[in-house]
Amino acid sequence: MTEQLLGPALIEEATKKSGLVWVRGGGPARALWHVWHDGAAHVVGDGPGEQPLPQLADGATAEVTVRSKDKGGRLIVWTATVSELEPHSEAWESAVAELKGKRLNAPDAEQMTERWARECRVLRLEPGAASTTDFPDDSGAAAPLPTTATTRRPAPAGLPRLLLKRKQKRS
Protein backbone atom coordinates (compact mmCIF):
# COMPACT_ATOMS: atom_id res chain seq x y z
CA MET A 1 0.00 0.00 0.00
CA THR A 2 2.77 2.41 0.92
CA GLU A 3 4.55 1.73 -2.41
CA GLN A 4 1.32 2.59 -4.28
CA LEU A 5 1.18 5.96 -2.53
CA LEU A 6 4.89 6.75 -2.70
CA GLY A 7 5.23 6.08 -6.46
CA PRO A 8 2.98 8.94 -7.65
CA ALA A 9 4.33 11.28 -4.97
CA LEU A 10 7.92 10.51 -6.00
CA ILE A 11 7.09 11.07 -9.68
CA GLU A 12 5.44 14.41 -8.91
CA GLU A 13 8.12 15.72 -6.57
CA ALA A 14 11.07 14.70 -8.76
CA THR A 15 9.45 16.09 -11.92
CA LYS A 16 8.46 19.35 -10.23
CA LYS A 17 12.01 20.01 -9.08
CA SER A 18 13.69 19.11 -12.35
CA GLY A 19 13.75 21.84 -14.98
CA LEU A 20 14.43 19.34 -17.74
CA VAL A 21 13.07 15.88 -18.55
CA TRP A 22 14.13 13.39 -21.21
CA VAL A 23 11.12 12.19 -23.19
CA ARG A 24 11.15 9.22 -25.57
CA GLY A 25 8.16 8.82 -27.86
CA GLY A 26 8.85 6.40 -30.70
CA GLY A 27 12.38 7.54 -31.49
CA PRO A 28 15.36 8.86 -29.57
CA ALA A 29 14.86 10.64 -26.25
CA ARG A 30 14.80 14.43 -26.30
CA ALA A 31 15.56 16.85 -23.49
CA LEU A 32 12.49 19.06 -22.96
CA TRP A 33 11.85 21.92 -20.57
CA HIS A 34 8.51 21.55 -18.87
CA VAL A 35 6.32 22.64 -16.02
CA TRP A 36 4.43 20.39 -13.59
CA HIS A 37 0.83 21.52 -13.35
CA ASP A 38 -2.39 19.84 -12.30
CA GLY A 39 -0.90 16.36 -11.85
CA ALA A 40 1.11 16.18 -15.10
CA ALA A 41 4.13 17.56 -16.92
CA HIS A 42 3.27 20.06 -19.65
CA VAL A 43 5.52 20.92 -22.61
CA VAL A 44 5.18 23.33 -25.51
CA GLY A 45 6.90 23.05 -28.86
CA ASP A 46 6.86 22.18 -32.56
CA GLY A 47 6.67 25.82 -33.56
CA PRO A 48 9.19 28.40 -34.76
CA GLY A 49 11.75 29.06 -32.04
CA GLU A 50 10.36 26.37 -29.75
CA GLN A 51 11.62 22.92 -28.81
CA PRO A 52 10.83 20.00 -31.13
CA LEU A 53 8.31 17.42 -29.92
CA PRO A 54 9.01 14.54 -32.31
CA GLN A 55 6.93 11.40 -32.22
CA LEU A 56 4.73 12.60 -29.36
CA ALA A 57 1.18 12.17 -30.59
CA ASP A 58 -2.15 12.62 -28.88
CA GLY A 59 -3.13 9.35 -27.18
CA ALA A 60 0.35 7.79 -27.40
CA THR A 61 2.59 6.84 -24.53
CA ALA A 62 6.07 8.12 -23.78
CA GLU A 63 8.88 7.25 -21.41
CA VAL A 64 9.89 10.18 -19.20
CA THR A 65 13.28 10.20 -17.48
CA VAL A 66 13.68 12.76 -14.74
CA ARG A 67 17.14 14.02 -13.91
CA SER A 68 18.52 15.56 -10.76
CA LYS A 69 18.63 19.34 -11.00
CA ASP A 70 21.92 19.63 -9.13
CA LYS A 71 23.90 16.58 -10.32
CA GLY A 72 22.13 15.79 -13.61
CA GLY A 73 21.87 12.07 -12.83
CA ARG A 74 18.80 9.94 -13.50
CA LEU A 75 16.34 10.02 -10.59
CA ILE A 76 13.26 8.26 -11.89
CA VAL A 77 11.71 6.89 -15.08
CA TRP A 78 7.94 6.84 -15.59
CA THR A 79 5.47 6.15 -18.37
CA ALA A 80 3.29 9.02 -19.56
CA THR A 81 0.07 9.19 -21.49
CA VAL A 82 0.36 12.02 -24.02
CA SER A 83 -2.59 14.29 -24.71
CA GLU A 84 -2.62 17.42 -26.84
CA LEU A 85 -4.50 20.34 -25.31
CA GLU A 86 -6.95 22.22 -27.51
CA PRO A 87 -5.89 25.88 -27.89
CA HIS A 88 -7.85 28.28 -25.69
CA SER A 89 -9.58 25.47 -23.79
CA GLU A 90 -9.70 25.82 -20.00
CA ALA A 91 -6.94 23.20 -19.53
CA TRP A 92 -4.81 24.86 -22.22
CA GLU A 93 -5.17 28.32 -20.66
CA SER A 94 -4.16 27.14 -17.18
CA ALA A 95 -1.19 25.13 -18.53
CA VAL A 96 0.00 28.00 -20.74
CA ALA A 97 -0.17 30.43 -17.81
CA GLU A 98 2.32 28.20 -15.99
CA LEU A 99 4.47 27.57 -19.06
CA LYS A 100 4.69 31.28 -19.88
CA GLY A 101 6.31 31.96 -16.52
CA LYS A 102 9.00 29.34 -17.16
CA ARG A 103 9.79 30.24 -20.80
CA LEU A 104 13.21 31.87 -20.90
CA ASN A 105 14.42 34.32 -23.54
CA ALA A 106 11.21 34.47 -25.53
CA PRO A 107 11.58 36.95 -28.41
CA ASP A 108 7.90 37.92 -28.24
CA ALA A 109 6.89 37.71 -24.60
CA GLU A 110 3.77 39.82 -25.08
CA GLN A 111 2.33 37.77 -27.99
CA MET A 112 3.82 34.43 -26.95
CA THR A 113 0.58 32.74 -25.89
CA GLU A 114 -1.19 33.73 -29.12
CA ARG A 115 1.75 32.40 -31.13
CA TRP A 116 1.59 29.15 -29.17
CA ALA A 117 -2.13 28.88 -29.96
CA ARG A 118 -1.52 29.44 -33.71
CA GLU A 119 1.75 27.62 -34.37
CA CYS A 120 2.66 25.28 -31.49
CA ARG A 121 1.41 22.27 -29.63
CA VAL A 122 0.93 22.11 -25.87
CA LEU A 123 1.15 18.54 -24.60
CA ARG A 124 0.15 17.06 -21.26
CA LEU A 125 2.31 14.14 -20.11
CA GLU A 126 0.30 12.42 -17.41
CA PRO A 127 1.78 9.56 -15.37
CA GLY A 128 0.01 6.38 -16.41
CA ALA A 129 -1.32 3.71 -14.10
CA ALA A 130 1.55 1.45 -15.19
CA SER A 131 4.19 3.97 -14.09
CA THR A 132 6.82 2.50 -11.86
CA THR A 133 9.62 4.03 -9.85
CA ASP A 134 12.01 1.16 -10.68
CA PHE A 135 15.05 1.94 -12.79
CA PRO A 136 15.48 0.16 -16.11
CA ASP A 137 18.34 -2.34 -16.31
CA ASP A 138 20.22 -0.48 -19.05
CA SER A 139 22.38 2.61 -18.52
CA GLY A 140 20.22 4.89 -20.64
CA ALA A 141 23.22 5.92 -22.74
CA ALA A 142 22.42 6.58 -26.39
CA ALA A 143 24.34 7.54 -29.49
CA PRO A 144 24.26 11.27 -30.25
CA LEU A 145 21.57 12.42 -32.66
CA PRO A 146 22.70 13.24 -36.22
CA THR A 147 23.74 16.86 -36.67
CA THR A 148 25.41 19.14 -39.17
CA ALA A 149 27.88 20.31 -36.51
CA THR A 150 31.44 19.08 -36.90
CA THR A 151 34.33 18.60 -34.55
CA ARG A 152 37.26 20.92 -34.57
CA ARG A 153 39.81 20.24 -37.27
CA PRO A 154 43.52 19.90 -36.45
CA ALA A 155 45.44 23.17 -36.21
CA PRO A 156 47.35 24.11 -39.37
CA ALA A 157 51.00 23.06 -39.24
CA GLY A 158 52.29 26.65 -39.43
CA LEU A 159 50.12 28.01 -36.62
CA PRO A 160 52.47 27.22 -33.70
CA ARG A 161 55.31 29.10 -35.43
CA LEU A 162 53.09 32.13 -36.08
CA LEU A 163 51.98 32.23 -32.45
CA LEU A 164 55.56 31.85 -31.25
CA LYS A 165 56.69 34.80 -33.42
CA ARG A 166 53.95 37.02 -31.96
CA LYS A 167 55.01 36.11 -28.46
CA GLN A 168 58.67 36.94 -29.22
CA LYS A 169 57.73 40.34 -30.72
CA ARG A 170 55.78 41.29 -27.57
CA SER A 171 58.75 40.46 -25.30
> Per residue in 10-49, pLDDT tens?
899 999 998 899 999 888 889 999 999 999 999 999 988 8
Q: pLDDT tens digits for 83-112?
A: 999 999 999 999 999 999 888 888 788 899
- Rounded Cα distance between 149 and 147, Å, is 5
Q: pLDDT tens digits for 50-86?
A: 999 988 999 999 999 998 878 878 888 899 999 999 9
The three-state DSSP-derived secondary structure of 64-108 is EEEECCCCCCEEEEEEEEEEECCCCCHHHHHHHHHHHHHCCCCCC
pTM: 0.77
- List domains and CATH numbers for the chain: 2-143 (2.30.110.10)
Under a CB-based contact definition with an 8 Å cutoff, are residues 16 and 76 in contact? no
